[in-house]
């Protein structure tokens, strides 16, 4: 069988957009052309690749083909950009950037301003996910670049954007809210609230450093939900320092005696060549003006 790039684009778009109509809009094709392209691919594969009702979901075979299609399409985009760059073309098109919640809130907006000013033809699309999702998205080809936390080892060419540490987040009327620094063990009687979107391994490590048992009272996904629960007096949390600007007025962030640092890194994929525009974004991100403005 011979699979075309267009067929792979259609499969990815149908699954990601969740409907044939939305996929047609994103690919600037007619809906009938999208349906025909996917049907041709399914005929060649000998089995359905997506379920069409009640919602669009990939089948097991479709999921396996998607994994290859995303990587092939990412490499094809990078190849096209390399050829165009050799011919002197400016950076154009779309770059998909993945980042976690605190990086998206604190680091990425300032970088987007720099990239827009210096690469005006480039459209950088942000995809926000948990720490566990980011690296998988990057290596699968779902995104072209990412801001990762403590990658081990970092990909060749990656650059450090910022360092921060983990701190306690309390209500401003908490008995320890006026302290300059507290021991994590001092919060043992407070219900611990944690987010499943990232940082749990580091928070577990901090409890081990303090000789305390890690036993969260509540685990939620959204950071906004976590902050709302703290503000309501339902518990305390441990969060990275970059989250400081996300806190509402009735919450405070206090340094911990147990110091644990994390490093946020801008990177392309580790297992395949980077998109040329990602390399240009990297060079802008590591410039002194950018670094000095975003370090907490």
- Considering the domain architecture, whether residues 167 and 254 belong to the same structural domain is answered as yes
Tokens representing residue 123 in the block: 């459209």
Is residue 122 situated within a structural domain?
no
60 located within any domain: yes
H or E element in which residue 45 lies:
helix 31-45
17, part of any domain = yes
pTM: 0.84
Q: Judge whether 284 lies within some domain.
A: no
Q: Residue 277: inside a domain, yes or no? A: no
What confidence score (pLDDT) does residue 84 get? 77
Q: Which of 30, 59, 89 is the last residue of a domain?
A: 89
Indicate the burial class of 103 (C-beta count within 10 angstroms; 0-12, 13-18, 19 or more). Answer: buried
The sign of the dihedral angle between the CA atoms of 132, 138, 142, 144 is: positive
- For 206, the domain range is 162-262
Judge whether 192 lies within some domain: yes
Q: Closest Cα partner for 45 from 30, 31, 22, 63? A: 63
CATH number of the domain encompassing residue 53: 1.10.10.10
Q: Which of 64, 89, 114 is at the close of a domain?
A: 89
* CA dist 142 → 92, 135, 278 (Å): 19, 10, 14
Question: Token pair 């075309």 is at which residue?
Answer: 4
Last residue of a domain, one of 73, 89, 105: 89
- For residue 3, being part of any structural domain is answered with yes
What are the helix and strand counts (H, E) for the chain? 11, 12
pLDDT at 294: 65
The 8-class DSSP code of residue 236 comes to B
Can you tell me which residue has the tokens 């009272």? 217
**Total domain count, the chain:** 2
192: Cα within 13 Å, side-chain hemisphere: 22
Cα–Cα–Cα angle for 18, 19, 24, rounded to 5 degrees: 120
On whether both 80 and 166 belong to a single domain, the answer is no
Which of 215, 171, 221, 184 shows the shortest CA–CA distance to 199? 221
Examine residue 117 and state whether it is found in any structural domain, yes or no.
no
Would you give per-residue pLDDT tens digits along the chain (296 residues)?
Answer: 689 999 999 999 999 999 999 999 999 999 999 999 999 999 999 999 999 888 899 999 999 999 999 999 988 888 888 887 767 666 778 899 999 999 999 899 999 999 999 999 899 999 999 888 999 999 999 999 999 999 988 999 999 999 999 999 999 999 999 999 999 999 999 999 999 888 899 999 999 999 999 999 999 988 999 999 999 999 999 999 999 999 999 999 999 999 999 999 999 999 889 999 999 999 999 887 666 566 56
Check which CATH number belongs to the domain holding 258 and give it.
3.40.190.10
Q: What is the DSSP letter of 186?
A: G
């Amino acid at each position: 069988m011979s699979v075309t790039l267009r067929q792979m684009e259609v499969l990815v778009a149908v699954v990601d957009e969740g409907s044939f109509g939305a996929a047609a809009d994103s690919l600037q094709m007619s809906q009938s052309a999208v349906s025909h392209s996917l049907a041709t691919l399914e005929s060649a594969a000998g089995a359905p690749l997506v379920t069409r009702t009640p919602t669009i979901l990939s089948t097991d075979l479709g999921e396996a083909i998607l994994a290859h299609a995303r990587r092939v399409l990412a490499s094809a985009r990078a190849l096209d950009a390399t050829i165009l760059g050799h011919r002197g073309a400016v950076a154009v098109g779309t770059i998909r950037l993945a980042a976690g919640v605190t990086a998206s809130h604190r680091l990425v907006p300032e970088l987007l301003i720099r990239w827009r000013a210096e690469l005006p033809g480039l459209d950088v699309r942000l995809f926000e996910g948990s720490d566990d999702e980011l690296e998988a998205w990057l290596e699968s080809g779902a995104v072209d670049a990412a801001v990762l936390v403590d990658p081990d080892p970092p990909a060749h060419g990656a650059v450090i954007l910022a360092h921060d540490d983990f701190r306690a987040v309390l209500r401003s009327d908490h008995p320890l809210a006026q302290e300059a620094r507290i021991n994590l063990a001092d919060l043992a009687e407070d219900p611990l609230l944690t987010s499943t979107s990232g940082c749990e391994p580091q928070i577990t490590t901090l409890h081990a450093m303090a000789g305390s048992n890690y036993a969260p009272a509540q685990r939620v996904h959204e950071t906004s939900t976590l902050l709302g629960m703290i503000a309501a007096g339902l518990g305390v949390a441990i969060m990275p320092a970059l989250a400081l600007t996300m806190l509402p007025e009735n919450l405070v962030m206090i340094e911990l005696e147990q110091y644990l640092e994390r490093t946020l890194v801008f990177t392309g994929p580790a297992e395949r060549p980077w998109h040329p525009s990602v390399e240009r974004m990297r060079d802008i991100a590591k410039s002194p003006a950018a670094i000095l403005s975003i370090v907490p």
